[in-house]
Amino acid sequence: MSTPEQMPENAAAVYRRYLGAVMLHGHAGAKAVGLGATDLYALNILALDGAMTPGELGRRTGLTTGPTTRLIDRLEQAGYVHRAADPHDRRKVIVEPVARPGGLDEAMTPARERIGAIIEGYSPEQRAVLFDYFTRAADAYLEASTEVGGGRAK
């Protein structure tokens, strides 16, 4: 075991395993509600940040124009989003979230409960560090994805 000042010898492997497990769970959750992982990811973006243009949604999902249009078509046909005129510029279209996939909360409950139990085991100070990490790491990953993906995400 390492001291707080040291990283464990297998830190990279531990972190890669963690990230892989998170991605696998996202894919499993999407499949459980009849969606592809990118479709569920797009719905999450819309739920967190609200309506946006197709271009912004494409940029945030890392998709080019054609795949973004097909993504929105699928989500609209399923009743999860609606295209509407942009209230600030009627020449533009925005994509608005209007529904969540049925069964999504049920599909995500087992992991939420397990992760919640882990987090409850930490002190308030440790939880503050965890959530500071989540916030800062999300920003770091989004910024790095623009570097790796040629400016597509964020």
- Whichever domain contains 78, its CATH number is 1.10.10.10
Q: What is the pLDDT of residues 128-148, one digit of tens each?
A: 999 999 999 999 998 888 787
**Average pLDDT along the chain:** 91
Residue of 152 and 47 predicted with greater confidence? 47
Rounded mean pLDDT, 73-99: 94
**Residue 6 belongs to some domain of the structure:** no
User: Does any domain span residue 113?
Assistant: no
Q: Give pTM, 2 decimals.
A: 0.84
Q: How many structural domains comprise the chain?
A: 1
**Which structural domain, as residue segments, surrounds residue 57?**
11-102
Q: Are 61 and 46 in contact (CB under 8 A)?
A: no
Distance of CA 24 to the CA centre of its chain: 13
Q: By the 8 A CB rule, do 94 and 84 touch? A: yes
Residue 111 lies in a domain: no
What is the per-residue pLDDT for 6? 78
Statement: residue 1 has pLDDT above 80: no
Greater pLDDT, 108 or 149: 108
